[in-house]
Amino acid sequence: TKMKASLVLTSILGAFTLVEASSQDPMTADMKHQSHRILSGSEDSYDDDFWAYDNGSYNTAWSDFNLSARKCVTMNKKHYIVFELFGRNNKGCSRKKKGTYTMDVGKFAKAYVAQKKIDYKYMGKDYGDADSLGYVDCTLVEYNGNNYYAKLGCSSQGGLKILAYSDAYCTTEVNANIGLYNDIKLSFNYCNDCVTWPVNNDDDAANAEGDDAAQDDAAGDDNFEYYHQFDSKLCSAADYYKSSCGWGCKRMANKGTSSSSYSSSRKYWNGLEKFFLLFWSVAAVGLIWVVLKQRRMMSREDAIVEEATMNGVGLRKRHIFPIALGIIFFIIFSMFMVWKRLTWLLLIGSNIGLFAHFAFLRRKAKQRSGLTGYVKDGGLQIS
């Protein structure tokens, strides 16, 4: 009897365990299964605290994002990387900009090198070690019998450089050669993919050799493409440690920025520019309306004088309409091509010309306000 009772109890416990396992959240179980994969904040050999913010989040699909480092700038004796983050369908960092931000140069360098190590691994290469990461914090060095403090910072050209300081807090920079050179080749004004995919994307099989975690992935992870879209050391760290870049910061980043294949292709209208495009376009339409209304009140004498003046420079009234259409076409076309200087020249110049013509007509009308001889459409006849 006791044996039967024991078997019944064991069966009940087994059934309860099966029910509990079947009712477990699939995502939770999947995340446990994926605990070994190389996430944005894990398995970093040189600074575990730096990556502590990320436990393998599934909140952001970084495969949709791109990042571009603009310049290394110095503000209030602190060194920052100015970068831009772009969202989905940004067409090579030419649109969909999320914003312009700053990040401590040392933190950015850590994230950049960590991302490059993964990128190179997926390409079947070895990125190697970056000695400059040893100077992310203020570090005592000796050179030619003299003691200095070294720290990774910004060069006068806006790149990375290991700088020399005289104090242990790296606040007083000195112009001295300490025999240390930056070996982190950070590409500025280049559109970086937040997520790099393996050259042979076969569920990690091509990258599993010599890596226990990757071997586990190759054996048991049939959803590599899904999980990998959330993994980006560079972009996740940049998003977490970023600070806003104000007007002065953006001005510093734009000053003296060297041209590149990316910078030449990254033409777009920002929010402020779009506002003024709309403003000046509406203003031009309004000025056209008031000018046409004022011209309807021109005297016959003024219309004859105007036509004679136009004939003197080789123009006819029938030429005005095609010229106006041509100007409008070139304004719209230059907006589409993002030819900023030509667009502002044509748009603002047209507004100035229309306003000057309106003021001239208005003054003439006031001078003749007591006289007769006005004809309807006197100045609008096209023959």
CA-nearest of 121, 126, 128 to 198 is 121
CA distance 365 to 360: 9
Instruction: Judge whether residue 14 has pLDDT over 70.
Output: no
pLDDT number for residue 357: 85
CA-nearest of 168, 175, 177, 133 to 149 is 168
CA distance 26 to 319: 73
Note the pLDDT tens digit of each residue in 15-48: 444 444 444 444 444 444 343 344 443 444 446 6
CA-nearest of 184, 189, 188, 192 to 109 is 184
- Higher pLDDT, residue 16 or 301: 301
pLDDT number for residue 221: 54
pLDDT number for residue 345: 92
Contact 234, 194 (CB under 8 A): yes
Taking the alpha carbons at both ends of the chain, their separation in whole angstroms is 118
pLDDT number for residue 10: 53
Burial classification of residue 123, based on how many CB atoms lie within 10 Å of its CB (0-12 exposed, 13-18 middle, 19 or more buried):
middle
Note the pLDDT tens digit of each residue in 235-276: 999 999 999 999 889 988 888 654 444 444 456 788 888 999
* Average per-residue pLDDT for the chain: 77
Stretch (H or E) spanning 152:
strand 146-154
CA-nearest of 315, 323, 347 to 334 is 347
pLDDT number for residue 380: 41
Note the pLDDT tens digit of each residue in 151-193: 999 998 889 999 999 999 999 999 998 989 999 988 899 999 9
pLDDT number for residue 13: 52
Among the residue ranges 3-12, 91-100, 247-256, 273-282, the one predicted with the least confidence is 3-12
Note the pLDDT tens digit of each residue in 190-229: 999 999 888 765 544 444 444 544 444 444 456 888 888 8
pLDDT number for residue 210: 47
3-class secondary structure, 261: helix
Report the pLDDT averaged over residues 114-137. 90
What's the pLDDT band for 104 if we cut at 50, 70, 90? very high
Instruction: Judge whether residue 381 has pLDDT over 70.
Output: no
Q: Is 141 left (phi over 0), alpha (psi -120 to 50) or beta?
A: beta
CA-nearest of 125, 273, 139 to 199 is 125
- Higher pLDDT, residue 326 or 32: 326
pLDDT number for residue 65: 94
Could you give the C-alpha distances from 266 to 98, 102, 189, 262, 275, in angstroms and in order?
Answer: 14, 19, 9, 6, 19
